[in-house]
Structure 1
């Protein structure tokens, strides 16, 4: 039965991952239709077409592999005389179509976050309720009722920010800012007690408890918004870490690593029940969809953000970059992106094989 549950959860994870990519393309599709752009095909899945039908000017198709989909717009990558072609629309309309995919991913993250939070009776806050015995945080000047607002320069709005900031912090030099009776108070820099992680490194061990917040309808909506925003900030901060060398290849996962992470999350949840396992998978999907939304908007060739750069250039200079040259840039970026994905995939497999 355990094997059956695990297999079912992996299938659910794969389908949800495909849905995340599909939802991204749906954003492009809906905005293209609203902008009067001709969409030649909208496909669910990738690879060989299983079946499809024509509705108006658009072919709707279901394809073999459930790993996303695509929205093929007229004149998107080539010159077209059709007045409803992508390239013949005003810059601001094209800008909205391109940015819609990433925005839809973040909206999906918000919706899924509501589903994860709604069943919870209480939520953790960032306000101290009490401290453990010999607490280093209390010794540094923290008091019950203080609200954490910053840790080592990283702003803290939710308990997710708190966890992320503590994970990044040097346990030997923690600088914390709290709000006490409406006034910001700087705590003395202090060393926290530590715990040893699986890779042998040390991380701060929390020596305090935080106050709970009772669930309410408005609280769930507000919390879903702040938690989704917190995840987006984590993506940006993680990208900074990659660029500065703080994080290495071990902190990056491709499709194989993502599937493994989904399987591990599902397995951990099964010990508490099938519902918790599904909840864990949905939470993984939130992380994936927010990551996809943010990363896709980066100003890199072959990504939506790369197209936005060309549109911004056209909007400023009033002259579009010739389609063939833009195509060359995106093609080169696509090849580099594929090379990076191959490297990450091999690393994921090596990491799994070697444990």
Structure 2
């Protein structure tokens, strides 16, 4: 039960940070905030300070930031729709941006503790596409089909999201001992096609890696922490691409709050049997993954989401006048209806998987 509660609070914390981004930028832009709440559902405690009601609600997850004139015309000079378009863009974008900032901060905890998984080969499997192409231990993979490779997870992700696709692999190879012609590593490329492994039920290049390496200095800490956020964003986009290409089923790619809470609870339970450090790293990894995923999903140009609202604001910025509020409201209303229907389906799928 404690694991489930921890998972609910963790998920709520991530959503709360998202809403706090909207709240902070709204206040900085002179937009009136009617209510900022922690949790959802009925209020169990609230206090008014200035123009804003600060509330704690019954359900311990999520939060909200209700602004003056956010969804309707309002003559109040502090109304959202009466502020300059750039200010409104900043307020709407602040939610996802705060999710990326939160993900970065927790990525720093992870990288500082476990280091970085460099894409340096420790070996290649006999008879594998990698061996046939000429790759060998010590090679550092730098690009695959033009995509930059920073960690061996990038290779695994690309192979998974582009199954059976021919790959042009660029690499650097350290200079051989006693070589006089070169004082440093050489670079090259090979072309190979991963083969399906019946044992692992996936396409594989046949390469082996040595695990994580400790990072050195604040520069590497910042660099590889930013990479962790980038990896989560790229993996989310790749998963959506596989979903639209029908390479994976919707129930495999999409998990709702119930499923997420269950998975977080299970991993926390497993890590508790190892050590307190394992619990901290598990929770930090979930914050990194969920916060960055929430950020990128909210930026998708879907009506009712932050990305959909940004589309209308960018149109207003380009054409110099806003889209008819009534028409925009209808689009967002339709988008909200579709999202609610999807949420019901996702919830049903989560519950079915738990049974």
TM-score, reference length from structure 1: 0.88
The equivalent of 1:137 in structure 2 is 130
Q: How does 1:170-319 map to 2 (within 5 A)?
A: 170=163, 175-180=168-173, 184-192=187-195, 194=197, 196=199, 201-204=201-204, 207-210=207-210, 213-218=213-218, 219-249=220-250, 250-319=252-321
Q: CA deviation at 1:266?
A: 2.0
Q: CA deviation at 1:154?
A: 4.5
The equivalent of 2:77 in structure 1 is 83
C-alpha distance in structure 2 between counterparts of 1:46 and 1:146, whole Å? 52
The equivalent of 1:99 in structure 2 is 93
Q: CA deviation at 1:192?
A: 5.0
Classify the secondary structure of the residue corresponding to 1:300: coil
Bigger shift: 291-300 or 211-220? 211-220
Contact 1:126 1:211 in 2 (8 A): no
Q: CA deviation at 1:234?
A: 1.2
The 1:184–1:114 alpha-carbon spacing in structure 2 relative to 1, beyond 3 Å, is: same
Bigger shift: 203-212 or 308-317? 203-212
List runs of 5+ in structure 2 lacking aligned partners.
174-183
Q: CA deviation at 1:113?
A: 0.9
List runs of 5+ in structure 1 lacking aligned partners.
1-6
Q: How does 1:150-169 map to 2 (within 5 A)?
A: 150-151=143-144, 154-169=147-162
Contact 1:254 1:344 in 2 (8 A): yes
Q: CA deviation at 1:337?
A: 0.1
Bigger shift: 64-73 or 163-172? 163-172
Bigger shift: 163-172 or 307-316? 163-172
Bigger shift: 22-31 or 231-240? 231-240
Classify the secondary structure of the residue corresponding to 1:43: strand
Are 2:45 and 1:42 aligned?
no
C-alpha distance in structure 2 between counterparts of 1:314 and 1:172, whole Å? 42
Classify the secondary structure of the residue corresponding to 1:118: helix
| Deviation digits for residues 233-262 of structure 1 (CA, Å, limit 9, x no counterpart) | 111121222222222112211112212221
| Deviation digits for residues 255-290 of structure 1 (CA, Å, limit 9, x no counterpart) | 122122212322332342243134223212211111
Bigger shift: 252-261 or 177-186? 177-186
Bigger shift: 20-29 or 187-196? 187-196
The one of 331, 336, 339 equivalent to 2:338 is: 336
Classify the secondary structure of the residue corresponding to 2:64: strand
Matched positions, count:
343
The 1:184–1:339 alpha-carbon spacing in structure 2 relative to 1, beyond 3 Å, is: farther
Bigger shift: 141-150 or 308-317? 141-150
Q: CA deviation at 1:152?
A: 5.6
Q: CA deviation at 1:123?
A: 2.5
The 1:91–1:157 alpha-carbon spacing in structure 2 relative to 1, beyond 3 Å, is: same
CA-based RMSD of the aligned residues comes to 2.3
